[in-house]
Structures are given as C-alpha cells and as structure tokens.
C-alpha cells in the first residue's frame, strides 16, 4: 500500500491544499477545477436523505496525480493508492461539509458522516464519488431546495458537468418517485468580487468565502 507520508507531497505537487486534502493556506483565484454531478437520493416516503456527488478533477491535475501515484505505488498497486487517497479526501473535507451548502427556505439542513465513497481513475481523470447523507430526512414538497458546492478560497472552481455553457442533463437529477423540476443557475458575482479575484496572485491569500460568490446554484422544486 502507498505510504501515508506520500500524500502531503502529492498534494503539494498538485496545489490542491485549498480543501481536497491538506488544510494549508488558502490561495488565489482558480488554479484548477472540478466537474460536478449531483444526484438527490429520496427515501421511500419521498424525503431527501442524501446527496450523491461525483467530482472529476481537471485533466492536468489528474495526470500529475496519477503519474505520482504510479511512481510511488506499493504492493497494492494504483487501486490501493486510490483507495487511501479517497480516505484522506473524505477525512479532510468532512469538517468543511464537503464544500456543500444546502438551503431549504431560511434553514440550512445539516449533514451526517460520509461512509460510502470511492476514488476512480476514469478516462485519464481522477473521480471522487461519495454519498453525503442529511442529518435528518427532508420533505421536499413545497418551496425550492437550493445548493451550492464551492471551495471557500476559490482556489479550485467547482462547476456542473457541461457541454460548452450548457449543463448536461445528468449534471443534476432526482432519484425517486416525486415529480421534480431541476435547474442550474449560473453565478452572477458582483463586479467588485470579480476584480478582487482577478487581482489575486498565486501567492496571495483569498478572503474566506470568496468562492461562494462564483458558485453555481442547483435548484430543485418537487410537487
């Protein structure tokens, strides 16, 4: 199995410290991105019980990370290294609610612990798939449910899987029997925030929460 001490060096190479693996200083405007797919998982009563998310790291960072893992793999091979990578990602993202912000009216529903997760190497890209359970099931009938997934430091940009500027049909889906409408709203950051991000150099420290202003919003309305 790949040694535990390898991971700080791997992530140092990738500069993914803004939240994927290491709690280092947050820095700068986006230097990489994640393609997101979101599936809302409903229970038998039509209540929201979990958010199944798939994060695909951009091709460049995926390539660097895969090459590093292949060089350093132990007896368990790359698959064992990816498994351990998944555990490190889960443990570091857990205190940050997996970069996920959920809103139901004026409420912010909480999350439970992630127990189901995996890391894959697919088509040359690293993919982190996990099931984020809600602390309590949520009845979705009524007002809209909204969520955002973002790196608070805006070092890494999180966007729904898209073709051009159009999100893919499966970028946001609801798994259950309710009749639900979904849409993904583009971010509309204040021009001052755009300028703030543009002026940040790679060595600068971004304001905590800057990423929220650039995050897409997923919206679900169920009947």
Tens of pLDDT, residues 94-127: 999 999 999 998 899 999 999 999 999 999 999 9
Q: Please give the pLDDT value at position 112.
A: 97
* Per-residue pLDDT, 210: 78
- Please state, in angstroms and as integers, the Cα–Cα distance from residue 169 to each residue in 128, 145, 160, 185, following that order: 20, 18, 10, 14
Share of the chain above pLDDT 70, in %: 77
For 166-184, what is each residue's pLDDT tens digit?
999 999 999 988 889 999 9
pLDDT > 90: what percent of the chain?
50
Q: What is the DSSP string of the chain?
A: ---TTHHHHHHHHHT-TTTTS------SS-SEEEEEEEEEEE-TTSEEEEEEEEEEE-HHHHHHHHHHHHHH--TTHHHHHHHHHHHHHHHHHGGGGGGEEEEETTB---B-----EEEEEETTEEEEEEEEEEEEEEE-BSSPEEEEE--TT-SEEEEE-EETTEE-GGGEEEESSS-EEEEEEPP---HHHHHHHHH--TTSPPPTTGGGGG--EEEEEE-
Per-residue pLDDT tens digits for 127-162: 999 999 999 999 998 779 999 999 888 888 899 999
Q: What local confidence, expressed as pLDDT, does residue 77 receive? A: 81
Q: Indicate whether 14 pLDDT > 90.
A: no
Per-residue pLDDT for 207 more than 80? no
Q: List the single range of 49-53, 66-70, 88-92 with lowest mean pLDDT.
A: 66-70
Q: What angle in degrees, to the nearest 10, is found between the helix axes of 77-93 and 6-14?
A: 80
Summarize the confidence of residues 13-27 as an average pLDDT: 45
């Amino acid at each position: 199995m790949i040694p535990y001490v390898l991971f700080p060096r791997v992530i140092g190479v990738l500069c993914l410290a803004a939240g994927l693996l290491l709690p280092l200083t947050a820095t700068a405007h986006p230097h990489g991105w994640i393609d997101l797919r979101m599936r809302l998982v409903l229970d038998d009563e039509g209540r929201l019980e979990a958010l199944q998310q798939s994060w695909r790291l951009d091709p460049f960072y995926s390539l660097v990370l895969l090459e590093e893992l292949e060089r350093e793999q132990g007896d368990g091979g790359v698959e064992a290294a990816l498994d351990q990578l998944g555990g490190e990602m889960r443990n570091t993202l857990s205190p940050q609610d997996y970069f996920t912000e959920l809103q139901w009216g004026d409420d912010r529903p909480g999350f439970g612990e992630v127990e189901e997760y995996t890391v894959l190497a697919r088509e040359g890209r690293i993919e982190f798939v996990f099931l984020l359970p809600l602390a309590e099931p949520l009845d979705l009938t009524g007002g809209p449910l909204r969520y955002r997934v973002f790196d608070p430091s805006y070092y890494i940009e999180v966007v729904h899987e898209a073709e051009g500027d159009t999100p893919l049909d499966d970028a946001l889906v609801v798994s259950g029997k309710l009749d639900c409408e979904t849409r993904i709203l583009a971010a509309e950051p204040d021009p001052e925030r755009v300028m703030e991000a543009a002026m940040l150099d790679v060595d600068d420290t971004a304001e905590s929460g800057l990423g929220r202003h650039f995050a897409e919003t997923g919206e679900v309305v169920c009947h």
